[in-house]
Chain A
Amino acid sequence: MNWKFGFSGMIAGALFCAATTSALAEDVVIKVWSRADRSGPLRAGNIVAAGDTLNKMLAAAGSDKRVKIELNETNAKGYDDDALDLLKAFAVDKGPDIFVLAHEWTGAFAEAGYALNLEDHITKNPELYGDIIVPLWQSVSYKGARYGVPQDSEVRMYFLNNDKLRKLGKTDKEIGAISARVDAGEFTAYDLCDLAGQAVAKGVTKFGILHRPNAGPDFQMMMEGFGNVPYDKAEAKLQASKAGMKDFFTWVKYCVDKKAFSSTNTAMSWDNIEQAAFAKEEALVFFHGVWRVTDQSKAWNLKGKEDYQKKITWINAPAGKKGGKPSNLSHPIAYAVSAKSKNKDLAAFLVGLASQPYVNTRHAVTTNHTPINYGQQAMPEVIEKGWALVAATPMLKYASFMPNSPKIGQYNSIVFKGIQGVETGRLSADAAATFVIDELGNELGKDVIIRN
C-alpha cells in the first residue's frame, strides 16, 4: 500500500472530522426553563422566536453559528413550586441558561448566586431595553441592581357577575356604582362578603367568592386592606403584624360563616374553579387577574368591551374598614439569565430580543397581559385587542408589587395554609393568626420581623 496515499487519506479524514465537529460546535445550545403555563405559553415561546431571529441574523452575516433553544417546560402547580424545583436544579448544576420566574423570586435567585446581575447589560444596551416602562424595573430589582427583565405585567381584580347581581335584585345603576364605592372606601371587604353570602343564601349561585386554590400573590392584595404590609422597606426585611393578621383572619372567618368563601375552594383544581366561575356561572365573584378576560370572553362568547362590561364588573380589593383605601397588586413575570451559564451574553441578548414590542405584544394580546414597553400602548393591535388592558390601567393607581425578599415564597405559603385552615373550618380566626405568626417565626427566624 502506498504510504503517501494512506497518509493523505488520514489527513483528509482528520480534516473532515475537524470540519464536521466544528460545524457541530457552532450550534450553541441555550436551555430555557419555563413552567408550562396555559395563561402565557409565549413567555417561553418568545425566547424561541428570539432564537429564530438571531439565527436569521447570523445567516445574513455569513456565520456558521446557530443558536439552538432547548426548552424545558415543567409541570409545577404554580410559580412557587416551580421556583423551588428550579433552585434544586441549579444546586445540582442542572440549571438552564434562561429562566422564567415570578418577579418576587428574583431576590432568592440573586441571593443564591443563580441569577445574573443584568445591570451592566441593561445600561449598555438601551436600544433593547430603553422603552421598558420604568416602574416595572422595581419588580426585578434586588439590593439596588436589576437581576431580571420584566416579561409582562398585570392588574388583579374581583370579577363580579352582573347577571347574578341582577338576580339578587341589584339595579344596573347600583352595579355600575360598586367599583367607585370600593375606591372611595364606602364598600368594604365585609360588604363584599355580605353580598356574596346573600347570593349563596338565596340560591342565586353555588359559591360566593372563588379564589385561587394554591398559594400565590392574590392573597397579599386581600390582606393589604387590613393593614398587612409584608415588607419593611427601612429594615429591608419581611414583617408580619399580629393585629393585622388577626383582623385579616377575622374577616376570612366572617366570610366563611357567611358562606361567601367555600370550604372546598382550596381543595378544588384550577379546572373545577374555572368551570364553576366561567362556563357554569356558579360563582358570584371570582378573584384573579385581568388575563382571565380571555377565558371569560370565550366561555360566554363576549364580543369586545361593551359586551364584556354588561356581563362583568371589576373591583379592586376593598378596604377592611369604611374609609380605608382599596388595594391592587401587579405581579410581573420576568426573564432571568443564569449566572452559571456558559453563554451569559448570548442568553442576555436573547432575552433582549424577546422583550421587543412585536413579540411581547403577541404575548400581551393573546393572553391579556399588560405589555412592558411604553411604545406598545400605541400599537393598533394592543388598542384593538387589548381593550381590557387599557380599561384596567386606572386600577393600577392602587397597585403595589410583592417584595423581592428571598423568603417571600415561604411567607406566602404559610399565609395560604392559614387561610386554608380557616376556610376548611380547621382553625378559628385567632388560631389562624397564631399559626401564621408561629410558623413565620419558626421557618424564617430572623428574616422576619414580628410586630404587634
Chain B
Amino acid sequence: MTTTSKLSLEETRHVANLSKLEYSEEELLELNEEMSRILDTVSRLDNVPVDGLEATLAVGAYANRFRADESGECLDPESALQNAPQTRDGCFEITRIIAKIE
C-alpha cells in the first residue's frame, strides 16, 4: 500500500476539529505544510515488508491483571477536586450541556 502523504488544507481543518484545537487560517496553512512534510518522511514505512506480521501494540507479555473487587484507599473528594478550574458543591463545574427549553 502506498501512502499519499499530501494533506489537503480541508483535511487539516477536519483533523483540528477532531483534535479540539483551534487555528487561525495562517497557522493552519503553516501546519498543513509541516504535517505534509512529516508524513512524507514517515512514508519510509512502505520500505519494510510487513506481510504476515502481527502489529506490536505493546512490548512484553501482557494479560489482564485482576484483583479482588474490594474497596481500598482512594482520593478524598477534596483532593480529587483540588486541581479543577471550577467546582461547585463538591462537583466539577462545566458549561451547561443541555439547552433550556422555553
Q: Are these two chains actual partners, yes or no?
A: no
Interface residues of B (CB under 8 A from A): none
Interface residues of A (CB under 8 A from B): none
